[in-house]
Amino acid sequence: MDKKIWYEPTISTEHIFKGNVIDLQVDTIELPGGRTATREIVRHPGAAAVVAIHQGKLIVVEQYRKPLGKTQIEIPAGKLDPNEEPQLAAARELEEETGFIAKNITLLHSFYTSPGFADEKLYVYYTDELEVGTQHLDDDEDVIVKHITVEEADQYIASGDISDAKTLLAVYAWKLLIATGKLN
């Protein structure tokens, strides 16, 4: 007989922090047999990212990531604005961060980034139909736009300069496209 997964009913919620990007709460929950435990939960509005291929190269941005204490090379991405459709957010972030405008954009995958403690859902889109526009970064953004080959992407992965899930997924989807002509 299959074991039944226990649902964790919430007994109480304590709101700890409300920020510009995340909110933090601590829930007291009930476990099997009436035991209780706490769950620290990060609430996030979601985000969108774009695997953008231009002239056979992947468009990425290099930026400093304070939590890591180093720069990272990532595909363009950003959080969803309130009630914003993920597809529109992906196109907006691509243009803001890189100056490229997506003429057509297709959903590749969506996934939860860290379901053990956060509810952030990330939507990853693909485009290879681009036109040049104008970059317009947010006041707190400082990025360098790069166009990299598959070989350069592999080198960045090996060096740890690409180490986030969305960009790893982007590189592997791109390699699959090159090898099979299909994205999934």
Q: Per residue in 123-144, pLDDT tens?
A: 999 999 999 887 777 777 788 9
Same domain, 26 and 73: no
Residue 78 CB-half CA count within 13 A: 26
- Residues noted as catalytic: 141
Domain that holds residue 165: 47-180
Does a structural domain hold residue 53? yes
pTM given for the model: 0.90
Among 129, 105, 122, smallest CA distance to 165 is for 122
Does a structural domain hold residue 164? yes
Does a structural domain hold residue 1? no
Cα 162 to Cα 8, 49, 72, 138, 165, distances in angstroms: 36, 15, 6, 22, 9
Same domain, 56 and 26: no
Torsion over CA: 146, 150, 151, 156 (sign): positive
Does a structural domain hold residue 85? yes
Same domain, 123 and 82: yes
pLDDT, tens digit, 9 for 90 and up, residues 67-110: 999 999 999 999 999 999 999 999 999 999 999 999 999 999 99
- What's the total number of domains in the chain? 2
Among 121, 109, 8, smallest CA distance to 51 is for 109
Does a structural domain hold residue 4? no
Same domain, 36 and 103: no
Same domain, 114 and 166: yes
Q: Which of 31-38's residues contact partners 24+ apart within 8 Å by CB, and which partners?
A: 31/6, 32/6, 36/11
> pLDDT at position 183, please?
76
pLDDT at 173 over 70: yes
Cα 154 to Cα 37, 50, 70, 77, 157, distances in angstroms: 42, 18, 19, 20, 5
Kindly give the pairing relationship between strand 143-148 and strand 57-65.
antiparallel
> pLDDT at position 1, please?
59
Same domain, 34 and 91: no
> pLDDT at position 135, please?
77
